[in-house]
Every structure is written in structure tokens, then in C-alpha cells.
Amino acid sequence: MTLRSRTRSARVGVLLVAAVAIATGLAFAVGAADTVAGDQTLVVTDENGTELLTAPVDGETEIVIEYTHSVEKTLVRDVYVPSGGALVMTRMEFSSFGAGLPSRADVTVVDGRYVYHPPSGEYPTLHLKTGAVADHDLLIGDDRYDIAAMSDNGAVELTVERRLAPRL
């Protein structure tokens, strides 16, 4: 069999499989159901795309990026919740007004800290450059992860994906 006839045979085979799947609706419907039925999972990857962490989340799970402000040396907490395959920032908590913090925003004071509720914003992918000074931690519900150490103080991305739960 020549290369040309093998390529033609492969294309015909792919077309036949696709035609049968479309006609029965089975293959595509099952794949779509698995995606929709999958559990929401927070996925943290490093700058090379390597998964550093995955954790199940739901619409009530607070996902917090906690770090030390590089100039003010005070604690900053950025709080998100998963929604519709994205991360939605619900608030920022900080102790002083420093570079990059919302100094002209309408804030409330709770337990001696400023709390800012930003306008609604969704992040399908949240890009974060961690660092030794900021020493970024990630809190998912009650669990704490040192993502600065996990990424060797590199860049990370946070996404929310639908994944099937592992079968035991």
C-alpha cells in the first residue's frame, strides 16, 4: 500500500467514525455529558504548563491568594470564588494603602483591616508571578499551599476546569 492510499484510507476511516457518531449522537453526547457532569476543579500550573496542584471546588469555595506587600510589608488577601469556569474576585483585604492597592476605592474597615469589594470581574485564567518577598500562599477552603515554593518563585496560572472525579 502506498503512502497516498494509506492516507486516503485513514481519512475515509476517520470520516466513517465521525459519520457513525453523528448519526447515533452517542459519542459526542457522552463526551459532552462528561464535561458538564464533571466536578469543578481548581488547576494551578507553572509557566511550563506543568500541573502543580488540583483541588475540587464549588461555588461556595473561597480561593485566596495571600501575600506580603513588597513595600508596605503588610498582609494582602485577594479572595475569589469559582463561577462558570472562571474565577470571580469577591474582595481584597489589606492593612495599609501602598503601591498597587486601591487607595481611592470605597472600602470598609473590618477588624482593623480595609476590605474592598471590586466591581464584578471574571478571570478565565488568573496569571500570578510569585516571589520570595511576597511569599505567595494559596488557600482553598481550609487548605493552605505555598505556591511560591511550589513554583520556585515563578509564574503560575489558576484556572477552573470541569473534571471527572477519579474512580476508586
Task: Enter the pTM of the model.
Answer: 0.74
Q: Which three cell numbers stand for residue 71?
A: 513595600
Give the whole-angstrom CA distance, residue 78 versus residue 86: 15
Q: For residue 168, is it within any domain?
A: no
| pLDDT tens figures, 112-147 | 999 999 987 899 999 999 999 999 999 999 999 999
Higher pLDDT, 1 or 84: 84
Q: How crowded is the C-beta side of 13, counted as CA atoms within 13 Å?
A: 6
In this structure, the answer to whether residues 146 and 70 fall within a common structural domain is: yes
What would the mean pLDDT of 49-70 be, rounded to a whole number?
A: 95
Please state, for a pLDDT cut of 70, what percent of the chain lies above it.
76
The residue type at 84: G
In this structure, the answer to whether residues 29 and 55 fall within a common structural domain is: no
In this structure, the answer to whether residues 44 and 22 fall within a common structural domain is: no
Question: In the predicted model, is pLDDT for residue 161 greater than 90?
Answer: yes
In this structure, the answer to whether residues 95 and 114 fall within a common structural domain is: yes
Q: Three-class SS of residue 15?
A: helix
Give the whole-angstrom CA distance, residue 49 versus residue 156: 9
Q: For residue 107, is it within any domain?
A: yes
In this structure, the answer to whether residues 81 and 154 fall within a common structural domain is: yes
Query: What is the count of structural domains for the chain?
Result: 2
What would the mean pLDDT of 39-61 be, rounded to a whole number?
A: 95
pLDDT band at 167 (very low <50, low <70, confident <90, very high): low
pLDDT at 37: 58
pLDDT at 105: 85
Write the DSSP assignment of 97-155 as a string of letters: --TTS-TTS-EEEETTEEEE-PPP-EESEEEEE--TTTT-EEEETTEEE-HHHHTTT-E
What would the mean pLDDT of 87-91 be, rounded to a whole number?
A: 96
Domain that holds residue 122: 39-163
